[in-house]
Structure 1
Amino acid sequence: MTTPRRILLTGWFSFLDGEATAGDVLALARTEEVLGRAGLAYDVVWSPGFRPRALHLEGVRAERYSHLVFVCGPLHGPQIEELHRRFAHCVRVAVGTSVPDPAAPAVTGFHRVLARDAPGVTPTTDLAARAPAAPARPVAGVILTHGQHEYGPRRRHDRVAEQVTRWMAGKDCARLELETRLDTRDWRLCATPAQLAAVLSRLDVVVTDRLHGLVLALRAGTPALAVDPVEGGAKVTAQALACGWPALLSADEAGPEGLERWWGWCLGAGREAARRTRDRFAGDGVQDAVDGLLPALDGRQSTAYG
């Protein structure tokens, strides 16, 4: 093989109708690490559906490259075969790939195939396993509602959900959509409060416009960034007040500036504040409405509230 002049890194993450999986992107990072240490020049080509502003196959000048490397995934199909035709002048190498059919044109078109698994070959560890480690990202549970029609014209639920989710899409965090509704038949939902508590206790923050999203997060010792989706404030605001929890925004305040401010607080001082609230809930110093239930049953209260 010739000494590389410039290498084009490709994979299933390069095709318009391909996909970028976490494993593929980590495998790419491992490959970039090896090439970078060797001082070799390379470019990465991405699907425009995944990275619109990156280098795409349709914009690649094939003559600039002496080598093409296909990273990870299975070697099969017309898209890989087209790479062989378009980059016929290049030395073509597949690395960390699976080989379903060694005789397929997508496979035989490569000069070398450094497979992770293939018929009759001892498998090797996937490239993602040794990819460079990245700093840990916060894990955010997201609990939103589009219901609560009892608030009539004061409802701002759809607007709040759109603002919050658009903002969260730009956050460098792991997002986990959650639901407080329990279901014993749907495997995607928790069947008991304890199951949901197990999830909430492992999160870094909960972003919610639900009363129980707020209360259950704090009960688990996890800071909650709460938004009241009702104009003028309603039960979420009331509960934040009852819990002494400051990370609350009104529907009109739920823009990027307010969300960023309380996000930073929740991931900082809010961690300890949430733990204190959890401990307070578990103690004897918190009163709730059921404390007045027995006297009410005894008929000693004559007012509707209090």
Structure 2
Amino acid sequence: MDDDLAAALLRTLRSPGRLPGRLLLTGWFSFLHGEATAGDVLAQRHASELLERAGVPYDTAWSPGFRPGALSLEAARPEAYDTLLFVCGPVHGPQVAALHAGFRTCRRLAAGVSVVDPADPAVTGFHEVLARDGAGAPARLDLAVRAPVGPLPPVAGVALSSGQGEYGARRRHDEVNERLTGWLAGKDCARVPADTRLDTDDWRLCATGEQFLALVSRFDVVVTTRLHGLVLGLRTGTPVIAVDPVAGGAKVTAQARAVGWPALVDADALSPSVLDHWWGWALSQEGRSAAARHSMG
């Protein structure tokens, strides 16, 4: 495998007489109706590192749907750049082709991309294409593979309750779920739905209790409004933040008290500061040790 895509991009950027004065870095993460995948964004990060290494001034265009307030393609002035670089993903379709029309005065490069149809105007509009695969191109290591990354954040399993009409006016499920998920969206963590419902036909759900325990045991923390999210999380030795969605407390509170688990929040006491406190505790050595004492592994 030829994995020198990064080196080839550096050579292109540094080619005699062609060093960009200012470059616009783009990709599918730039399109309002595109998508920002983990691979796209990590490829962007690697490309940024290479541009900085080459001493090339640059801006990145982001979709306003993904990064509101950042520079967008619509706001980027073509006359401010002499070079456009498109990274990652397939080069095809009208959105990519539109870059050539909008930035016609720029030298246009593509790197780390897949070429499905070499005759596609989206491809032919580039002055140079450093493909990772397709149309006879040598297989090259994707730019995302060696992108610089920071410490990996914790993985949070999220098991939420809904329904439970038997609690009548004491139900706070909708409000609790909205506030809880809104808080989680702001945490630096990988969020994984952990539905306690079993199903033998739906591949997204566990089919046995053992499968659910295997899933929960991989998490760093469980955030739940369900009784069994609490007790089964603790059974695997995983710290749990339990929120009782019933005003005044109901079965989640009862189980937390039965097992002596402190990270319990009442529906009416739910706030970001309270959740932040238990988040820090659950991920600390104290929280992990407390959960380990409840393990029945």
Question: TM-score by structure 1 length?
Answer: 0.89
Once superposed, what is the RMSD of the aligned Cα atoms? 1.0
Partner letter of residue 232 of structure 1?
A: G
Partner letter of residue 134 of structure 2?
A: A
2:65: which partner in 1?
Answer: 49
CA offset at residue 40 of structure 1? 1.3
Contact 2:19–2:56 under 8 Å retained in 1 = no
The alignment status of 1:209 with 2:229, answered yes or no, reads no
In 2, the alpha carbon distance for the partners of 1:56 and 1:119 equals 31
How many residues get paired? 280
The alignment status of 1:110 with 2:126, answered yes or no, reads yes
Q: Which of the residues 194, 201, 204 maps onto 2:210?
A: 194
CA offset at residue 94 of structure 1? 0.2
CA offset at residue 178 of structure 1? 1.1
2:14: which partner in 1?
Answer: none
In 2, the alpha carbon distance for the partners of 1:86 and 1:227 equals 51
2:294: which partner in 1?
Answer: 277
Farther-moved stretch of structure 1 (219-228 vs 81-90): 81-90
Q: Which of the residues 266, 274, 280 maps onto 1:258?
A: 274
Where structure 2 has 5 or more consecutive residues not aligned to the other structure, the ranges are 1-16
Spell out the pairing of 1:211-230 with structure 2 (5 A cutoff): 211-230=227-246
Question: TM-score by structure 2 length?
Answer: 0.92
2:173: which partner in 1?
Answer: 157
The alignment status of 1:133 with 2:149, answered yes or no, reads yes
In 1, the alpha carbon distance for the partners of 2:273 and 2:258 equals 25
Partner letter of residue 192 of structure 1?
A: T
1:68: which partner in 2?
Answer: 84
Secondary structure of the 1:171 match is: coil
CA offset at residue 133 of structure 1? 2.4
CA offset at residue 61 of structure 1? 1.1
In 1, the alpha carbon distance for the partners of 2:134 and 2:200 equals 42
Q: Which of the residues 116, 119, 128 maps onto 2:135?
A: 119
In 2, the alpha carbon distance for the partners of 1:15 and 1:45 equals 9
Instruction: List 4+ stretches of structure 1 deviating above 6 A.
Output: none
Where structure 1 has 5 or more consecutive residues not aligned to the other structure, the ranges are 283-306
The alignment status of 1:231 with 2:234, answered yes or no, reads no
Contact 2:194–2:216 under 8 Å retained in 1 = no
